[in-house]
Amino acid sequence: LKHLDSWAAPRKVPNPMMENPNGSAEVVPTPKGTVLLISPWNYPISLCLKPLVTVIAAGNCCVMKPSEVAPHSAAFIKRLVEEYLDPSAFRVVLGGVAETTALLREPYAHIVYTGNGDVARIIMKAASAHLTPCTLELGGKSPVIIDSDADIDLAARRVAFGKWGVNAGQTCIAPDYVLVHRKVQSAFIEGLKAKIAQFFPQGADQSKDFGRIINSRHVARIRRILAQSSGGQVVVGGESSINPDKCFVPPTVVLDPSLDDVVMREEIFGPVLPVVCVDSIDEALSIVDHVCPRPLALYMFTKSDKTQRRILDESLSGGVVINGCNFEQYANSSLPFGGIGTSGTGELHGEHGFNNLSHLRAVVRKSQSWPFNKIDLPPPPYTDDLYEKFIKLKYTGFFSPTQIKLAKIAGIGALLLTAGAIRSRL
């Protein structure tokens, strides 16, 4: 609310005098219309209501489809919207695949979706029938690169928090796997073990602070990933500690799986963390490009400015956090939040989200006052001479490069003669 008036105000832009003398030009943010908002189950309240705030701020109406995987949260959102918002402008539709499919048959001004890539492809295909623009936040396998000069205790603490401290890894920007320099691999693994013990002193299964998996289907999915993994060594947790009845999967670390292992192919979206040893930043960057070249987030730990710049220059991701692994890029509303390629498209949050969900309308005002009302571009019939004059006026100028050079020399000569005359009088 503090910034909304300035975001929504017309934005003056430069006005070329040749095309529009004494006129003006501006960009006017305009509401798009009705937005379809399809929200996920992992943060079912915030990932529905926070984008809704941006939709409303941009002046749009909204149809919301909260995830059926979190039915109690979905019912709560429906009750809130019906109680506090105008039903002619805001509606909540409950249900699953059938209801979502029916919604996608309708035309919208914009679609906002948070979830996985498979469903995103279905949404984009449906949106293409109406040429509807989409904002997609999709996740992906977000890597952590830890160089040999990193503060290992700091890295272990922040990676452990990012993976296990919030929602048991069921976060789109949670670290999915770690690439750690071989020189510090042992210290990092021991650091992770120590942080898990510190975070959950009675054990993660007894801790009210360690999240549970959303449902038994996702417990089975994570168990399948661990059961099919054969190339690495489980050094923390593991499949044997899973309790399906309580939707509990323990903090788990898989050391040195092969790059073709299932834990390195699939987005885990749970408390399992593969840790791969590397011998150089070259190798780390090569692995990132092999596993998921366009992740939603990329994390790095290094004290070297040169290494930081190199990783930034030679990788591509939705966002980057240097010497951190939590939610800094998501929490800062001044930053655009979104993916690239398979991790998503479009931005949300703050002014970036407002612009994304607004139509930035170009408005030009031409003068009606004399003598400017007599000045317009010449109408047909056109001549070659007129065309040449236009090109010279707009782009090339009326003088050749040789003439310009001679004029500069003459100007310098005139300045020198003037300076000499002044000096002689003194």
Contact status, residue 34 vs residue 60, Cβ threshold 8 Å: yes
Number of CB atoms found within 10 A of residue 117's CB: 15
Inter-CA distances, 258 with 255, 291, 303, Å: 9, 11, 28
Whole-angstrom distance, CA of residue 275 vs CA of residue 256: 6
Task: Examine the residue annotation and report whether 137 is marked as an active-site residue of this protein.
Answer: yes
Per annotation, catalytic residue among 48, 61, 137, 277: 137
Say how far apart CA 200 and CA 241 lie, in whole Å.
15
Cα gap 298→371, rounded to integer Å? 58
- Residue 395 Cα distances to 14, 193, 376, 384, 391, angstroms: 17, 66, 18, 16, 5
> Catalytic: which of 62, 172, 277, 325?
172
Q: How far apart are CA 333 and CA 205, in angstroms?
A: 34
Dist. CA 332–CA 78, nearest whole Å: 28
Does the annotation mark 172 as catalytic? yes
Count of other CB atoms within 10 angstroms of residue 141 = 23
- Unique residue bearing structure tokens 């690169």: 145
**Which of 4, 13, 10 is CA-nearest to residue 28?**
10
| 81 within 8 A of 90, measured Cβ to Cβ | yes
Q: Is 284 helix (H, G, I), strand (E, B) or coil?
A: helix
Rounded Cα gap, residues 411 and 69, in angstroms = 77
Which residues touch 318 (CB under 8 Å, ≥6 apart)?
294, 295, 296, 297, 337, 338, 339, 340, 343, 344
Return the active site residues.
137, 172
